[in-house]
Amino acid sequence: MQVCYRIWLDNKGKAFGEGPYRLLKGVDETGSLHQAASRLRMSYRKAWNVLNDIEERLGFTLLERKVGGPSGGGSTVTPKGQELMRHYERFREEVEQQIRQAFDKHFGHMDFGDGSPAEAR
C-alpha cells in the first residue's frame, strides 16, 4: 500500500503545481515552449494558455517569449519564474518527506497482505 497526493498553489483557482512546474522546467532545459509542451504530450496552444492563466493568477510573467525570425524564436524562464520553480522544488521535497514520515508512523508497521511494505510516494 502507498499514499498518493498532489500539491498545488492556489490563488483564486489552481495557480501552480506539478504540471506547470514540469512545463517550465522543460522550457528551461530546451529554450522552447513548443519543445517543452511536446515532451509532455501537450499541444503548444494548451501550454501557452496554461502559462498565461498562471501568469494572470500569480500577477507576474513566467516566460520571456521571442517571436521567430532569422535565428528562430524561443522562450526563457524569467528570474521570477526561476525563483518560483526553486521554491516549489524545495517545498515539494519537504512536504514529501513529512508525508513519508507520517505515513510510516501510522502505517509502516502494517501488513497489507501483498507481501510488500507500505510506502509513501
**d(Cα 109, Cα 65) in Å, to the nearest integer?**
51
Q: Digits of tens for pLDDT over the chain (121 positions)?
A: 778 888 889 988 888 999 999 999 999 999 999 999 999 999 999 999 999 999 999 999 999 987 765 556 789 999 999 999 999 999 999 999 999 999 989 988 777 766 555 555 5
- Predicted confidence at residue 19, as pLDDT, reads 94
Nearest by Cα to 52 from 40, 39, 61:
61
**d(Cα 112, Cα 52) in Å, to the nearest integer?**
45
Instruction: Give the CA angle between residues 107, 108, 111 to the nearest 5°.
Output: 80
Q: Residues with Cβ < 8 Å from 47, sequence gap 6 or more?
A: 23, 33, 34, 36, 37, 40
- Predicted confidence at residue 48, as pLDDT, reads 93
pTM, to two decimals: 0.81
Instruction: Indicate the residue type of 96.
Output: E
Q: Which strand (E) or helix (H) includes residue 10? A: strand 8-10
* Domains of the chain, each with CATH number or no CATH: 10-114 (1.10.10.10)
Residue ranges of alpha helices (H) inside 1-121 are 18-30, 33-39, 44-58, 79-107
